[in-house]
Amino acid sequence: MSSNDTIRLLLIHDTPSEAQRLVSMLHNAGRSNRAQHVASEAALTKLLQDKTWDLLIAEESSKQLPAAVALRTISKLQKDVPVILLTEREGAQPVVEGLKLGARDVVTVDEDQHLLLVIQREMTALDNRRQARLHDRRYHATLQRAKELLDSSKDAIAYISDGLIVYANESFAERFGYKSNEDVEYQPLIDMLAEAEQEEAREFLKQCTIDNNEVEAKEWKFTAKTASGQQLPTRAEVLSTIYDEERCLQVRIAARGGDAEQLEAQLSDIKNRDPLTGLYNRQHFLQLFDSAIKSAAGSQRTGGLMYIEVDRFEEAVQKAVGVAGADAMLKGLAQLLQSSLRRGDIVARYGEESFCLLIPDTTPDSAEHRAEEIVKKIADTIFDAAGKTVQITASVGISLFSEASAGAQKVLDQALEAHDQALAKSEQGGAVALYEPDTSQEGDVDTYRRARVVQALEAGNLKLLYQPILSLQGTGEQLYEVLVRLVDGKDELAPVAFLEALGDAGLSSKMDRWVILTAIKSAAAQRAAGKDISLLLHITAASLVDSGLPAWLGVAFKAAKVPPKSVVFQLRQEDINSNLHAARDFSNQVRELGCRVAICHFGTGLNPFKALEHVNVDVAKVDPSFVREVQDEGESSDTLANLIQQLGESDIKVIVPHVEQASMLPTLWQTGTDYIQGYYVQPPADEMNFDFSLD
């Protein structure tokens, strides 16, 4: 689980103020959370049945809901929710007792650093378990597809375990004159051979089992005995493999065809191909890639490797169109990648939803440009999915190789690392990243990052992006959220996040003022052209406590000739909770200027509405975790709907972000959502040119 993800947290504590302190501590440590206080076994049962939760923190001595009862309830419902107990007792005894109950750990009260480390460990372990379950589902889906391919194959195929035929397809039964595969399954294979060859065949199959070779098949020539007793000269390939989770031998007899040489070539090609897409398979690609690395070692050429993976494959494809639809989509994607090849390129299917593209001669700029073209081509294509249609995105990691490269596996690992960086660039996917060696360890990382931002401010290496926020109620307002990016060579980085992590208040405040001034100047130009533009501008915690900012804003608005009513200042909920008095004063002062105030990541914490009793806000942007639960995880929309309804009753407009699918719209319309934002509307763009018409 990423440290940026919102933790869905259950709290059991008899003292509300201590529960709130835990929530604030997590927020201050940069761990956004949606906390729910639980006071009874019935309430816990309902919460566990209704939603997915990431963590439960319980007071060991709670009287309202004893920790033992909570742990028993989680176990009874078979929910994977790690539990951490808090104790006031010293020594090892409470730890031993808690672990016996089933808790993941027991932490002494007020040992916040210890608690944070335990939480991080448990969140990582939880994410690993969820990934393991996901891979297990994918594995069994792959087994099912493999079984379907075996059943429909024209080749005669049988699996042999301890001498018995544990599986045979219809082609195998037909080859030897049987009516059905049921007539040969669980019969000794040796009984289907001529008696004179049976002893030799036993030794051959025994040796194949001992060799345990899953890569190179052995040729086996024998005389078979058909159902009618007729002798049939046969040539097969035998290799060790896994069937139904048991090690066994696969015997494959090629379908009858033309001359032997042509058939041999076809068999060799089939062995090197992925049966679904027709591309080279992973095993053969790695051989070709290793050869390309060796060739690069003897030349001055630089090659490139692209690791291409479909984003959110299980959620966006498999759950939407099923296994057959996913297979059809993957075939279409393979054809698209083949159509993108240039001379010398090699493309292969690497994993279930991933592909590798090998470019023998390229440059960093050229490789990135090609990857961006491929990503755009994928995003613009409507794929057939077994009677349905689906649109996808893919993220690409690129690594380069030359005579200095250590080996194929190292280059592949670098491409996978670059792919992780691409995913970190965009939650919506469709990003590209080029692997670059890490040089930040040579100096102080914080100093290095700060210097980059200072240099960017001085040299003008910053740019603004604008993402439209669409009104579902037809107000006609043309509202854009303003995002800042640091242009560092070919990369565009978000500097605000690591500036806040550095705790450099002066630089964060300076960055905020640069963004505000640049954005309102751009808005002024748009308004002069007849567009009624409004801006949503993020304010960091540093600016929130800057008492001189409101007066500066009044001067800036007059200079830019922008009406304050067209500006919405956005504050993070955790910043408001940590600076309640400053947030209240800032809100009142900018609202007196005529601006509006928004709160983002709303819904996190134990009591999100508490802050609204002290700070006047006009707009609330709900935390993305509420949207992901409905959109990506298929959970009920009741929690999101209730939150929107409560905000509406408080006369606060609601923005729902991260909307990526049209299927979300009916739910949001019914809940009375005021605005939507996300890649479904439009990704962040360089210009404010979105068509806000709903017609």
51-101 pLDDT tens trace: 889 999 999 999 999 999 999 999 888 889 999 999 999 889 999 999 999
Asked if residue 329 and residue 278 are part of one domain, the reply reads: yes
Confidence category of residue 241, pLDDT binned at 50, 70, 90: confident
Confidence category of residue 440, pLDDT binned at 50, 70, 90: very low
> Higher confidence at residue 144 or residue 499?
144
> Higher confidence at residue 140 or residue 657?
657
Going by C-alpha positions, the residue among 338, 323, 329 that lies closest to residue 311 is: 329
Q: What percentage of the chain exceeds 90 in pLDDT?
A: 46
Would you state the pLDDT for residue 499? 56
SS3 content of the chain, % helix, strand, coil (to 5): 45, 25, 30
SS3 letters for 627-638? HHHHHCCCCCCH
| Contact predicate 591/568, CB 8 Å | no
Out of 411, 434, 457, pick the residue that ends a domain.
434
Asked if residue 81 and residue 53 are part of one domain, the reply reads: yes
Asked if residue 511 and residue 400 are part of one domain, the reply reads: no
Strands 653-656 and 675-676: parallel
- Is the pLDDT at 508 greater than 70? The verdict is yes
Residues 202-237: tens digit of each pLDDT: 999 888 888 776 667 888 999 999 988 888 899 999
| Contact predicate 484/460, CB 8 Å | no
| C-alpha to C-alpha distance for 618 and 471, rounded to whole angstroms | 15
- Is the pLDDT at 635 greater than 60? The verdict is yes
Q: Which domain holds residue 56?
A: 7-132
Confidence category of residue 343, pLDDT binned at 50, 70, 90: confident
Helices and strands, counts by H and E, the chain: 23, 26
Would you state the pLDDT for residue 256? 66
Out of 434, 458, 482, pick the residue that ends a domain.
434
Asked if residue 43 and residue 117 are part of one domain, the reply reads: yes
Going by C-alpha positions, the residue among 502, 510, 493, 485 that lies closest to residue 444 is: 502
Mean pLDDT score, 18-32:
85
- Is the pLDDT at 477 greater than 90? The verdict is no
Asked if residue 292 and residue 190 are part of one domain, the reply reads: no
Q: Within 13 Å of residue 42, how many CA atoms lie on the same side as its CB?
A: 0
* Maximum average pLDDT range among 261-270, 359-368, 458-467, 532-541: 532-541
- Is the pLDDT at 268 greater than 60? The verdict is no
Mean pLDDT score, 168-174:
91
| C-alpha to C-alpha distance for 88 and 134, rounded to whole angstroms | 38
Residue 179 structure tokens: 């009516």
Residue 323 structure tokens: 């296994």
Asked if residue 455 and residue 407 are part of one domain, the reply reads: no
Q: Domain with 424 in it: what CATH number? A: 3.30.70.270
| C-alpha to C-alpha distance for 333 and 338, rounded to whole angstroms | 9
- Is the pLDDT at 441 greater than 60? The verdict is no
Whether 259 is covered by a domain: the verdict is: no
Would you state the pLDDT for residue 38? 93
Asked if residue 665 and residue 562 are part of one domain, the reply reads: yes
Mean pLDDT score, 407-411:
82
CA distances from 529 to 522, 532, 679, 688 (A): 11, 9, 26, 12
SS3 letters for 20-31? HHHHHHHHHCCC
| C-alpha to C-alpha distance for 457 and 485, rounded to whole angstroms | 11
Q: What is the mean pLDDT of the chain?
A: 86
Strands 346-349 and 354-359: antiparallel
Whether 492 is covered by a domain: the verdict is: yes
Whether 31 is covered by a domain: the verdict is: yes
Torsion of CA 150, 155, 156, 160, to 10 degrees: -50
Would you state the pLDDT for residue 439? 42
Whether 682 is covered by a domain: the verdict is: no
Asked if residue 277 and residue 239 are part of one domain, the reply reads: no
| Contact predicate 430/393, CB 8 Å | yes
Whether 362 is covered by a domain: the verdict is: yes
Going by C-alpha positions, the residue among 493, 464, 537 that lies closest to residue 688 is: 464
For residue 306, list its beta bridge partners: 357, 398
Would you state the pLDDT for residue 339? 93
| Contact predicate 330/338, CB 8 Å | no
Going by C-alpha positions, the residue among 257, 277, 259, 278 that lies closest to residue 269 is: 278
Mean pLDDT score, 449-462:
66
Whether 11 is covered by a domain: the verdict is: yes
Strand, coil or helix: what is 212?
coil
| C-alpha to C-alpha distance for 408 and 272, rounded to whole angstroms | 19
Whether 262 is covered by a domain: the verdict is: no
Whether 263 is covered by a domain: the verdict is: no
Instruction: For residue 645, give every residue at least 6 positions away whose Cβ sits within 8 Å of its Cβ, in sequence order, or none.
Output: 671, 672
- Count of structural domains within the chain: 4
Q: Domain with 228 in it: what CATH number? A: 3.30.450.20
Q: Domain with 20 in it: what CATH number? A: 3.40.50.2300
Mean pLDDT score, 141-154:
81
Asked if residue 452 and residue 430 are part of one domain, the reply reads: no
Please provide the size of the chain in residues: 695
Asked if residue 469 and residue 604 are part of one domain, the reply reads: yes
- Is the pLDDT at 243 greater than 50? The verdict is yes
Q: What percentage of the chain exceeds 70 in pLDDT?
A: 89
Q: Within 13 Å of residue 602, how many CA atoms lie on the same side as its CB?
A: 27
Confidence category of residue 516, pLDDT binned at 50, 70, 90: very high
Torsion of CA 661, 662, 663, 665, to 10 degrees: 120
Q: Domain with 528 in it: what CATH number? A: 3.20.20.450
| Contact predicate 576/538, CB 8 Å | no
Asked if residue 482 and residue 359 are part of one domain, the reply reads: no
- Is the pLDDT at 543 greater than 80? The verdict is yes
- 89-95 long-range Cβ contacts below 8 angstroms, 24+ apart: 89/60, 94/60
* Phi-psi category of residue 460: left, alpha or beta, with phi > 0 → left and psi -120 to 50 → alpha: left
Asked if residue 314 and residue 236 are part of one domain, the reply reads: no
